[in-house]
A and B are shown apart, each in its own frame.
Chain A
Amino acid sequence: MRCRITRARLVAAWTWNANDDLCGICRLPFDGTCNACKTPGDDCPLALGECRHAFHLHCILKWLSSETSRNHCPLCRQEWQFQQR
């Protein structure tokens, strides 16, 4: 198989975060758990940022604890602040 990818394909596929029902980090549904957990619900809550982007709490905590994150939201790169209710 020889690959010939055209520029059109390149442009067309930049839609990776279009699905709002999936956590952008582990790419699993919000109504289930992150992939470190087994029980959905209170044990694996969602986290909402001031920027309105949501992730599994465990997923965003792992990201924020990595050096690469520089405390930025993975989606919009604004500084991540947990939304206070």
Chain B
Amino acid sequence: MLRLAEWKDAQTTDDADKSDEVRSTSQLASTPPQPSSQVAGVPTPASLRWLSQQRLQQDLTELGVTAPELELQFPDLSDISRFIVTLSPAEGWYKGLCFRFAFTVLETYPFEPPLVRCLDAVWHPNLDEHGAVCLSILREDWRPVYTLVSLVQGLLHLLLEPNPNDALNAAAAEMLVQDPAAFQARVHQQVRERQYHFENAAPP
């Protein structure tokens, strides 16, 4: 319990500028269950849950410090393992668009990556219309030294520089390579549709 208490103290003293969402969530979040007995190397469900919750809280703190203006929403404030990150690239093909990414952090975190879906499907080589995201660090290139900050940066990079060589939407990838003007026109068309969509969208 000590580390969690210290962590909460650090929250209130050191990170006065941190985003309200993250701080309020850290206070509301239920205390992670601690393993009942000493664990030596062999992961048990209890120890994994403890590990993932603690790492996740550290990651959320880091995310709040690194990107205090980042929009982070927790649909259920008692569950910090599910949240929505909104990214809006300041340049590139998708300039000005808002993309909501839904994160689900598993109890195997950080040994397995979070599950991430894009809630705002768009014409993009590495996104499909169902919200699947094709990003290698979310799959085979995941490593436990990556953090939520790494993933947010990876997703932002995907929006800034779509990768036609690792395509989920092959038609979009081909259009990006063959006819960038048509690609941009199609995205711009979606920007207009998206604004309509956002004005009428229900909260996630």
Contact = CB atoms under 8 A, between A and B. Distances in A.
Interface of A: 1-7, 9-10, 13-14, 16-17, 24-28, 35-39, 43, 57-59, 61-63, 65-66, 68-69, 72, 74-75, 77
A35 B67 contact: no
Q: Is the interface of B mostly helix, strand, loop or mixed?
A: loop
User: Secondary structure at chain A's binding surface: helix, strand, loop or mixed?
Assistant: loop
B160 A68 contact: no
Given A5-B156, A13-B149, A13-B153, A25 B39 contact: no
A37 to B, nearest CB: 7
Interface stretch (B87-95, B167-175, B178-186): B87-95
B51 A35 contact: yes
Contact of A66 (B71, B89, B112, B140): B112
A37 B144 contact: no
A3 B67 contact: yes
Given A36-B51, A66-B111, A74-B144, A58 B87 contact: no
A75 B143 CA distance: 8
Contacts of B160: 7, 10
A26 B43 CA distance: 14
Given A26-B54, A58-B39, A1 B143 contact: no
A14, A36, A37, A72 pick with most chain B CB within 10 angstroms:
A36
Contacts of B3: 28, 35
Given A10-B153, A10-B156, A57-B41, A2 B88 contact: yes
A3 B88 CA distance: 6
B69 A13 contact: no
B47 interface: yes
Contacts of A63: 111, 144
B68 to A, nearest CB: 9
B71 A62 contact: no
Contacts of B89: 5
A50 B20 CA distance: 43
Given A5-B156, A66-B112, A17 B35 contact: no
B114 interface: no
Contacts of A26: 51, 54-55
Given A5-B87, A5-B90, A35-B3, A74 B145 contact: yes
